[in-house]
Structure 1
């Protein structure tokens, strides 16, 4: 006899399964033992995680709730089937090692290694080492993606991957492909001459000599770390008292900021239950990357813990797109290295602040262009249906960033569901939020208590709106890269 599910059943089961996965990921990121074996997550839910369950969801009248519950179920269906393929791929990736002289570098350690150690010559060796590793791992990655695409077409009836993502995220990807392409061309003259000067000053080499591994070194702003103030991680959060926010005392927010070796090196937020259970994890490495990482993750954390508990489960915990959360994260990350904060909160001299802020802005446009080029490459790749060829990826990355990217590494730089565009939308959204606050309170907006009041009103809306509807509902204007271009021009082309 087929089991039937009520709306309440569906919401609660999906929320419980989401929580299980997040709890598993949190434990692994902390370096703890997982609370259960991964294959046990779905035990007892086999009858529920089935395309047939979608028929109950499709009867809902609320289209937003319907779409979110529908795709939450699809997520678990795909995850359950893909689990053995993903486990195999990740097992091989975990064991992949690049030898740089006497150093053994695992894939997961490449970014922090490039940021804080290594020479140009060593990064050249890393480049040569990772190429064959990517070629060896490519069949495992391709297998994963081919299985996923087959599931979407044959089991779930989606025409293609683009259709699936557009229905889930409600983002017009083709339109944004053209918008981003045009914006990149418009900023070529702003970006390339400035980046050429920076690479020659920093490395004594033209941009054309450099690879993505050199970009990692350059863009972490390590050259300015001697200016970083002698403050503990906890002290770096005292700024938010201007907004009547004390992160260490916020109900629901748990910050784990120690240097435990078991912890993953990358900072991350885990929103187990919004607003009751939110974790921020990072392992400080010293320098400006620490405050940027911390404030970025606090953007995710604050927007979660200040979410109204009166909202429904779907409006709190089941967003299908995270561009709005990324807006808050990039908003705080940009604020952390703004000139008022650098000078009046962190104590830099005006001359040091000006030099640092110039290069921080140049870094921002470079990283934006990296995400933009990746989005374009992914859009073209999935539009053509050819995931095996990385030549176009390498061509676009070099064209828009100036750094060389290996064609064989394209699948290992691919972010599922076009998340690169959500970063770009988040970056645009952050600039819109900042412009609004500056317009209301002037250049000292960051130090006004009213800023905290406005942000809390935005945050309490949770995830009930996607970024487009949020901007409309709060009279913030349409999504546009224009405020970003204005910001970059003011610094790089005064």
Structure 2
């Protein structure tokens, strides 16, 4: 089996990454009914061998910075590829089974993704709850295979990396400790709870109506996040135009970025979760949303625009390691969180939707409530996932603590049966939370350096474009240092969370 040098490995890895990304895109947007990732992995089997990994490890040891970090990311990708190659067929089978799964509803057999999307637009509280139960029942039917795949992945990763403890293994990959992050966000959640509690009651009453349960189930979260009672103001047909105008005010012209390809269509098999797939940045970056009406369409577009502009704005001369690869996703999430937080600015609501000052303040508070709810959910999710993976080598993974933690943090009941479907790979929850902290720090910096109306000033876009050019090279902790903050300083975040109900 051929062993490539660093340049040769990088060139072939780029071709592999493009093929896998385009396959994932086609399945995610509903253009394909089945996933064929396993076939792609098989075609590039020569990339992911123990011999190739040993060669990359040696090259990493011999390199100096910044080349050492670039090679380290190639080495980490090779490690992941060895594991993926062993599991690709089973992961394809699970993905295809989920695509084929149907939820019986109103005499129809809905694809599970269509049923999940319908939860955001079903206006009747009781029907929404019942549909959520039906979706959960179908999804939970795949939990045994999910758990089996997690167990086999754990064993393979332990073998390939030489680190048997899952949390330590992930910390080595990210280059950060996870429990201090949990401690920081837990403190922020506790400190902001007195402001959140009345805000939660006020907005759940308005969004769910008088018939709501004291503790609604997560079946209602898509409806809540959509802020559906405000749909008449935040119509589906205006979302793209308003978001593009918002970005242009910052000096960020998304339409002029030739590398960004948008997919905003509504298809039955299209995932309701918006995303960006950076197949070959800066040349090919896909921005994917599924608009359904409501403020969340605008937030989702701005969020994904942050990712898309970041990847499409990187220097084309950067190596693959700094254009596409990263140790985690915390850096790119900073830019997404910053842009979607514009919906929390009353002035934005007044400017684009002709609202009175009072209406704009109220609707901005609704957006802050939605964001706060999500932050609290993810802070609890990280705590659960750290416990889950700490126990995993001995108990194989259980839902213990999932429902209790998330429900206590949000006031929304998250059924235990959802604990595996809700688990993103690689402690992505920690990446989100690092970005939550950092984006609050960055907003504080922008208010100080640019002004309170940073969200419509081209100086903000100029600062972001400078950061985008670096691609994925810096860490989010490095960004904190540049703007004068300790990475775990949650003071700006707490100030925003506690100002929500003011």
Contact 2:30 2:271 in 1 (8 A): yes
Deviation for aligned residue 1:261: 5.1
* Structure 1 Cα separation of the partners of residues 140 and 268 of structure 2: 30
Matches within 5 A, 1:297-316: 297-316=304-323
Q: CA 1:295–1:74 in structure 2 vs 1: closer, same or farther (change >3 Å)?
A: same
The aligned residue for residue 400 of structure 2 is 391
The aligned residue for residue 458 of structure 2 is 449
* Structure 1 Cα separation of the partners of residues 211 and 33 of structure 2: 46
Runs of 5+ unmatched residues, structure 2: none
Q: Does 1:434 align with 2:433?
A: no
Q: Does 1:46 align with 2:45?
A: yes
* Structure 1 Cα separation of the partners of residues 495 and 197 of structure 2: 17
* Structure 2 Cα separation of the partners of residues 233 and 327 of structure 1: 21
TM-score by length of 1: 0.92
The aligned residue for residue 22 of structure 1 is 21
Q: CA 1:249–1:132 in structure 2 vs 1: closer, same or farther (change >3 Å)?
A: closer
Contact 1:100 1:122 in 2 (8 A): no
Three-state SS of the structure 1 residue aligned to 2:279 is strand
Deviation for aligned residue 1:18: 1.3
Contact 1:200 1:207 in 2 (8 A): no
Contact 2:42 2:85 in 1 (8 A): no
Runs of 5+ unmatched residues, structure 1: none
Matches within 5 A, 1:203-242: 203-205=209-211, 208-228=214-234, 231=238, 233-242=240-249
Deviation for aligned residue 1:475: 4.3
* Structure 2 Cα separation of the partners of residues 314 and 135 of structure 1: 37
Deviation for aligned residue 1:211: 0.5
| Greater mean deviation of Cα atoms: 22-31 or 252-261 | 252-261
Deviation for aligned residue 1:337: 4.2
RMSD: 2.4
The aligned residue for residue 120 of structure 1 is 125
Which string of whole-angstrom CA distances, capped at 9 and with x for unpartnered residues, describes residues 336-365 of structure 1? Answer: 342121112332221211111122212211
Three-state SS of the structure 2 residue aligned to 1:272 is strand
* Structure 1 Cα separation of the partners of residues 484 and 318 of structure 2: 21
TM-score by length of 2: 0.91
Please point out which of 156, 165, 168 is paired with 1:160.
Answer: 165
* Structure 1 Cα separation of the partners of residues 99 and 270 of structure 2: 15
Three-state SS of the structure 2 residue aligned to 1:41 is helix
* Structure 2 Cα separation of the partners of residues 19 and 336 of structure 1: 33
Deviation for aligned residue 1:235: 4.7
Deviation for aligned residue 1:326: 0.6
Q: Does 1:199 align with 2:208?
A: no
Q: Does 1:347 align with 2:354?
A: yes
| Greater mean deviation of Cα atoms: 289-298 or 23-32 | 23-32
Three-state SS of the structure 2 residue aligned to 1:208 is coil
* Structure 2 Cα separation of the partners of residues 171 and 117 of structure 1: 42
* Structure 1 Cα separation of the partners of residues 7 and 420 of structure 2: 39
* Structure 2 Cα separation of the partners of residues 123 and 259 of structure 1: 20
| Greater mean deviation of Cα atoms: 368-377 or 277-286 | 277-286
| Matched length | 492
Which string of whole-angstrom CA distances, capped at 9 and with x for unpartnered residues, describes residues 427-458 of structure 1? Answer: 22221221111101222222222222111112
Three-state SS of the structure 2 residue aligned to 1:413 is coil
Deviation for aligned residue 1:129: 3.1
Which string of whole-angstrom CA distances, capped at 9 and with x for unpartnered residues, describes residues 392-438 of structure 1? Answer: 11111111111112112211111111101111111222212211111
Three-state SS of the structure 2 residue aligned to 1:181 is helix
Contact 1:71 1:168 in 2 (8 A): yes
Contact 2:344 2:368 in 1 (8 A): no
Contact 2:99 2:112 in 1 (8 A): yes
Which string of whole-angstrom CA distances, capped at 9 and with x for unpartnered residues, describes residues 176-220 of structure 1? Answer: 222222222222222223212332344215663411112332232
* Structure 1 Cα separation of the partners of residues 305 and 401 of structure 2: 36
Moved over 6 A (4+): none
Contact 1:436 1:476 in 2 (8 A): no
Three-state SS of the structure 1 residue aligned to 2:231 is helix
Please point out which of 375, 378, 384 is paired with 1:371.
Answer: 378
| Greater mean deviation of Cα atoms: 95-104 or 302-311 | 95-104
